[in-house]
Amino acid sequence: MRSLLRAAVAIPMLACALHSAAQKQDRGYWQAASNTAASVTGNITISETKLSINFKGFTIAPIRSLKPEEVSAVFDADVNTAGAGALYRLNVPAAQRFLHKNTLCGTEDTEWMVTYVAGKTLEVAFFSGEVEPVFTFDAIAHSPDLCGTYSYAR
């Protein structure tokens, strides 16, 4: 009985630790590494409660960790080597313009952000839509809510 109780306590604690580790990896200042990032957002900064793009801050709320297979579906990473990612809720209005007058999601508000760190590279995907995105290969391939993916480096 004691073993069962310990397992019941340990499993949620481990899940929280993994979620926290995935989130902490993406914190800090990141330089635009992909053409998309360089032409839309420029460099970004992620803190515990804020995403800063082009000196504009947006409040973020951590939702949950993503499993390696979910990360693989979003970023086409190898499911055998992909680590955990992080899902955030945010609100970037469609009218918000960034570099070269670009937006994140066209005429839609940006409502979700996914991050994944591999070494010194940060991958970020933005989604529109009020409902949490589904992170499977098929769902992502047919998602009208995936706004774009961006790469950054340290």
22: pLDDT strictly greater than 90 = no
Mean pLDDT of the chain: 88
Cα-based distances in Å from 146 to 12, 31, 44, 154: 30, 22, 19, 25
Report, as an integer, the average pLDDT of 130-138: 96
More confident residue, 7 or 102: 102
pLDDT of 4 higher than 80:
no
Which CATH number do you get for residue 63?
Answer: 2.40.128
Residues of the chain with pLDDT > 70: what percent?
Answer: 84
The per-residue pLDDT for 10 is 45
Copy the structure tokens of residue 131.
Answer: 């409902």
- Give the mean pLDDT of 71-88: 86
Residue 14 CB contacts under 8 Å (≥ 6 apart), including other chains: none
Report the candidate in 31, 18, 15, 23 with the shortest Cα–Cα distance to residue 117. Answer: 23
Average pLDDT over residues 39-68: 96
Residue 61 is given by DSSP the state E
What is the residue range of 99's domain? 2-153
The H-assigned helical ranges of 41-105 are 68-75
Q: What pLDDT, in 10s, does the model give residues 86-107? A: 999 999 999 999 999 999 999 9
Domain tally, the chain: 1
Average pLDDT score over residue span 145-150: 97
Cα R_g (the chain), whole angstroms: 16
